[in-house]
Chains A and B, each alone.
Chain A
Amino acid sequence: DTGVSQDPRHKITKRGQNVTFRCDPISEHNRLYWYRQTLGQGPEFLTYFQNEAQLEKSRLLSDRFSAERPKGSFSTLEIQRTEQGDSAMYLCASSLTKGAGETQYFGPGTRLLVL
C-alpha cells in the first residue's frame, strides 16, 4: 500500500479525555499536513511539517492541540481535554516539495466524536 494511512479511522471519546491520531505519509514525502473538516464544510488547515520541522500552525489551533513528526516520517496529532466542538473528521495529507505545483495526497481521515 503506497497511500497515506491514518489510524484510527473512528474514535469516540468522552469530553475531557485526550486523544491521539496517527498519520503515515507516502514514503519519501517530505511534507505532511493536518486538516480538520466539519459536516458541510471544506477541510480547514491546521498545521504542516517539512521533514520534522513544524513550519506553520493555524491561528485557529488552540493550545490543546499538538502535533509532532519526530523523525520526519509518521506524525501524531494529540488533542487534550477534548470538547464537543472538536468533533470532526481529521485529515492528513502528504506531498513531495516541487516548488510551485505540489500535489497533496490525502488519507482516509479519522472521524472523532466527542460525547
Chain B
Amino acid sequence: SQQGEEDPQALSIQEGENATMNCSYKTSINNLQWYRQNSGRGLVHLILIRSNEREKHSGRLRVTLDTSKKSSSLLITASRAADTASYFCAPAGGTSYGKLTFGQGTILTVHP
C-alpha cells in the first residue's frame, strides 16, 4: 500500500518550540507530499519532495526523505499557535499516479 502512516498521532508543544512529525510508507514512490488541515476545513498543500531529493525547505518547514528506510519527516521550526492543525503525509506514484492515500495524520497542538 502507498498509504502513509504518521507518527506520533498527537503532539503538544509550546509556542517557539520545534515540532517533528514522521511518516512511513511501504512501497516505492515518485514523490511524497505533506498537507495541513485546520479543524473542519479542507487540506492545504505544504510541500512536495521527489524521490530523488533528500531534503527540502519552505519557510519554517523542513522535509526530509529517506527512500531506503521508506520514511519522511516534517520539521516545523519556531512553531506558532496558528500551526495547530492535523498534518498528513501522502506518498504518491507507482501504479496509482494521481491518487493520494492518507493515514490518520498527526494532530499538532501549539500552546501560546
Contact = CB atoms under 8 A, between A and B. Distances in A.
Interface of A: 4, 31, 33, 35, 40-45, 48, 50, 55-56, 89, 91, 93, 95, 97, 100-109, 111
B68 interface: no
B104 interface: yes
A108 B41 contact: yes
A67 B41 CA distance: 22
Given A33-B98, A48-B98, A111-B40, 13 more contacts: A42-B88, A43-B43, A43-B88, A45-B100, A93-B43, A95-B98, A100-B50, A100-B97, A101-B48, A103-B33, A104-B100, A106-B43, A106-B45
Contacts, number: 65
B42 A109 contact: yes
A104 B102 contact: no
Contacts of A41: 104
Nearest to A58: B99
A42 B98 CA distance: 17
B96 interface: yes
6 contacts: A35-B100, A45-B100, A45-B101, A100-B50, A100-B51, A101-B31
Interface string B23-55: 000000011010100001111110010110000
A106 B42 contact: yes
Contacts of B93: 100
Interface residues of B, number: 26
Contact of B45 (A100, A105, A107): A105
Most buried by A among B33, B41, B92, B98: B98
A40 B104 contact: yes
Contacts of B41: 108-109
Interface in B80-97: 88, 92-93, 96-97
Contacts of B101: 45
B99 A33 contact: yes
